[in-house]
Amino acid sequence: MAWYGQNGRDLPWRKTRDPYAILVSEVMLQQTQVDRVVPRYEAWLVRWPTAEALAAASTADVIVAWQGLGYNRRAVNLHRAACHVAEHGWPENLTDLPGVGPYTAAAIGNFAFDLDVLPVDVNIARVQERTGEQFDATCAQALFDLGATICLARVPRCELCPLADGCPSRGRRYEPLRKQSPFEGSFRQRRAQVLRAVAAGEQPTDGDALVSLERDGLVVLRDGVASLPA
């Protein structure tokens, strides 16, 4: 925690206890880099500052606003979660919200509701595995940053680590993890291209991508015509 006090990243979602703002940040951060998320997060909250404001938006507007963040189904789930909160309030079991799994529920519980639960992402899991230690909920943000900037996946920066003296993994190097398949030329890219085209009012001909997008609730097909959901 002393290390974090000197080295912690200045991130906008760390300055709020609003569960909606934290939900937005956590959904955006799923498989998207922090530097890309920060400006989009800030713009999102200017446009839709509350769950009620987002719930009142159309699904189409939400999908368009999400463009460029990837994995567009997250936008639909975030909108559905906001609708649930606007109508029913925050559920006791946060995993009842669309798109919210155990990790995201733990993050909201910790950062918004001050619950004694540690949200274990890949960074925290890596630090715990390498040190052989368990940490309490108060260390969450410090562990995020330690894993993201010091205890790196392949070549950890042990010389800068505040836990190095007692760490049994100090000095080890690791094989690269399996890389995600390239985006260029992938079906994911085709889906993204088709979704952008539909958002622009075009009628793409990639049937497989359209069917896949419809299954995820990202487009609507009626009589062979594609559009964004209302």
Taken in order of first residue, the domains within the chain and their CATH numbers are 2-111 (1.10.340.30), 122-166 (no CATH), 187-227 (no CATH)
3-state secondary structure 32-63: CCHHHHHHHHHHHHHHCCCHHHHHCCCHHHHH
Predicted TM-score (pTM) of the model is: 0.89
Residue 229 to residue 112: CA distance in whole angstroms? 31
Q: Give tens-digit pLDDT for 33-68.
A: 999 999 999 999 999 999 999 999 999 999 999 999
Q: What is the pLDDT of residue 212?
A: 93
Q: What is the largest CA-CA distance in the chain?
A: 66
pLDDT-wise least confident of 32-46, 105-119, 127-141, 195-209: 195-209
Residue 23 predicted with pLDDT over 90: yes
| Average pLDDT taken over every residue of the chain | 94
pLDDT of 94? 98
Question: Has residue 222 got a pLDDT over 70?
Answer: yes
Spatial neighbors of 45 by CB under 8 A, at least 6 apart, are: 21, 24
- Specify the 3-state DSSP secondary structure of 221: strand
- 130-137 contacts, C-beta under 8 A, 24 or more apart: 130/156, 130/167, 130/168, 130/169, 130/172, 131/163, 131/166, 131/167, 131/168, 131/169, 132/168, 133/163, 137/110
Burial class (CB in 10 A: 0-12, 13-18, 19+), 181: exposed
Does the annotation count 175 as an active-site position? Answer: no
Catalytic, out of 26, 52, 133, 214:
26
Give the whole-number percent of the chain exceeding pLDDT 70. 98
pLDDT band at 107 (very low <50, low <70, confident <90, very high): very high
Task: Read off the pLDDT of residues 69-87 as tens digits, 9 standing for 90 and up.
Answer: 989 999 999 999 999 999 9
pLDDT in tens, 148-207: 999 999 999 999 999 999 999 999 999 876 666 777 888 888 999 999 999 999 998 998
Count CB atoms within 10 A of the CB of residue 67: 14
